[in-house]
Structure 1
């Protein structure tokens, strides 16, 4: 943008409720967004309790009330990464609270999902939305943020089939040969300083799309976590690993997550750790997955922050993260007024870590 047009563009953003917020580095500036975990939790509850899920679209997405939390948007066109800036949203839509039952309102920019067991409250909420905004009723939830939603007597099934097909087409892998696993067993991926350097932006774009795809494909979460470690300086060997994930997707285009109907609400987490699995720094990788009412709702695969001195320590750190996830889920359920009875269960296959957890004397 030349002749001061960039400055005028930024001035218009400020006038509309945006301010510029500085970060350490543009490519690494943290911009909080709504967690997809919350969507899966609502889907699991809706499947378990038989709640109907309605979707609405708001045409005027901004400038409706002050924000209490920090919301960020992408850098406007013309601002180069060297400027180290993101835009902070000062105003957004107002949400409503209903009383008498559970009425959950999930908002992502101009897309809204409403669910719960309070039919009167949901109808009152719908009328309030229509009164305050120009709202379009899209009916039963079928498509949300690139995720396809199918309803049946068995529950709610989510997938990203169209997203996968589009990704395979874009990368030229639509006719590739499928493989059974997204990453080689006992892989030795590392910085690979002697390998051929590739285009960083195209690699980051591919891995970013794979990260978003993992919202409904936990089977590729570990492989995507591994290839994402090298986004700052990708090499040919890393690109080949990312392409292997695409080959795996080719044979599993329609896979997704089924949120089954059930009459008993349980909360469980399974934890594990890959001891000293990183060749570059010998850090371990934590993995956990949580189940709400028997439905998989959250999962994570991430390298630990410190070097564990034993497999028991690596497993214990994974258990600690699993407990944190359970506590977060319980808070979400309390906010949704979902009555919780019974203990939260944590499963681990390391006897030493279990003994440490059972003995408070060893916690130091």
Structure 2
């Protein structure tokens, strides 16, 4: 708690003033958390001071809220590049998470419980992923709220950047990147392996399915989930909680290549959060039984990878029986490493399968172009032309 208060004071988060008679302060409270390692041992105790923002009124106390949150697909792309180039990955953690933007509105908060002290200094924040080039070397920083991942092609620059960040923020140096946003990251001479073994085991424990039977496939073929005759669940909160677990589990499960139905199934189950039946719960638990068979399944980014971009896309025409919209699916590879995948319902109704296919290819092309711009910014050459495969053909 002392470290949290000291970091807030150094960043001049607030000023102690007398409350005006017409103003009402928002409250503050302490949030305590145990940070665990991958093996479930306690890494450190963490205390965070938060404002009770739910007492604020939009348009009066605030207008917009922002937080630097990097896309996890960006993290996978970064890992693929780092593995192929043999660079190091370092991780930093901010002692406190707060927005560094200037507030236009006057917001009054009660002093922290037990710490009625006068604070001091403030800095600005950057984008979720940004780069710096200098004399042929460059450095990349990926920001996710209060966690930072740093990589470079010149080791000396990491030390310079860390010293600069220490002057601006209260940070912890966590060393080489090993555990980030529930992702377990393992390095060796052959490449980088990423999985969510602990996260998958947590799902099994949370659903009390430690003794369940394993499932060889995530779903039963030709199973339909739309049933207007079945009664809705009295309390769908547990189903929503489980689907939320599974959606995040897809971060390291590129099942579009190996088990095509898994990613698609989780996409389907997430569409029934407001109107869920018993059969939806049964299907979600079957996914857990399938994951339990191999919880350490993940992605490997080889070190001897070539910079060749390929993407495979397809569409399931008019697959939604409720809206008759088609579903787009694609998987993108950098050499032999899978860097991104997606399955999503299209925004409009396609009048033919050809239109659905073209819409899928348009989404896949956008994905390729985004990654090409990232590689060009880093001065990383592409080995050959991009290849787009639509419906198993060029």
Q: Give the SS at the match of 1:158.
A: strand
Question: Contact 1:98 / 1:121 at 8 angstroms: preserved in 2?
Answer: no
Question: Contact 1:65 / 1:94 at 8 angstroms: preserved in 2?
Answer: no
Pick the aligned partner of 2:207 from 171, 174, 197.
Answer: 171
Q: Does 1:99 align with 2:134?
A: yes
Q: 1:30 to 1:296 in 2, by over 3 A?
A: farther
Query: Whole-Å Cα distance in 2 between the matches of residues 66 and 114 of structure 1?
Result: 26
- Aligned-pair CA distance for 1:280: 2.2
What does the per-residue CA deviation read over 1:143-170, in whole Å, with 9 as the maximum and x for residues that have no partner?
Answer: 0011111112221111111111111011
Q: 1:158 to 1:117 in 2, by over 3 A?
A: same
Question: Which residue is 2:18 aligned to?
Answer: none
Pick the aligned partner of 1:40 from 76, 79, 82.
Answer: 76
TM-score, normalised to structure 2, is: 0.73
Q: Does 1:182 align with 2:185?
A: no
Pick the aligned partner of 1:214 from 237, 246, 250.
Answer: 250
Question: Contact 2:67 / 2:145 at 8 angstroms: preserved in 1?
Answer: no
Question: Contact 2:97 / 2:145 at 8 angstroms: preserved in 1?
Answer: yes
Structure 2, unaligned runs of 5 or more: 1-23, 29-48, 60-64, 104-122, 256-261
TM-score, normalised to structure 1, is: 0.79
Question: Contact 1:271 / 1:347 at 8 angstroms: preserved in 2?
Answer: yes
**More helix by percentage:** 1
Q: Give the SS at the match of 2:79.
A: helix
Question: Which residue is 1:250 aligned to?
Answer: 292
Question: Which has the greater radius of gyration?
Answer: 2
Question: Contact 1:189 / 1:238 at 8 angstroms: preserved in 2?
Answer: yes
What does the per-residue CA deviation read over 1:210-255, in whole Å, with 9 as the maximum and x for residues that have no partner?
Answer: 1111101122321110100111111111111111111111101110
Question: Contact 1:197 / 1:235 at 8 angstroms: preserved in 2?
Answer: yes
Q: Give the SS at the match of 1:8.
A: coil
Q: Does 1:132 align with 2:150?
A: no
Q: Give the SS at the match of 2:26.
A: helix
Q: 1:261 to 1:66 in 2, by over 3 A?
A: farther
- Aligned-pair CA distance for 1:50: 0.4
Q: Cα RMSD between the aligned structures?
A: 3.1
- Aligned-pair CA distance for 1:200: 2.0
Structure 1, unaligned runs of 5 or more: 1-5, 23-28, 68-90, 355-364
Question: Contact 2:91 / 2:177 at 8 angstroms: preserved in 1?
Answer: yes
Pick the aligned partner of 1:55 from 88, 91, 113.
Answer: 91
**Stretch moving more, 322-331 or 125-134:** 125-134
Alignment of 1:115-126 (within 5 A): 115-126=151-162
Question: Contact 1:268 / 1:292 at 8 angstroms: preserved in 2?
Answer: yes
Question: Contact 2:68 / 2:145 at 8 angstroms: preserved in 1?
Answer: no
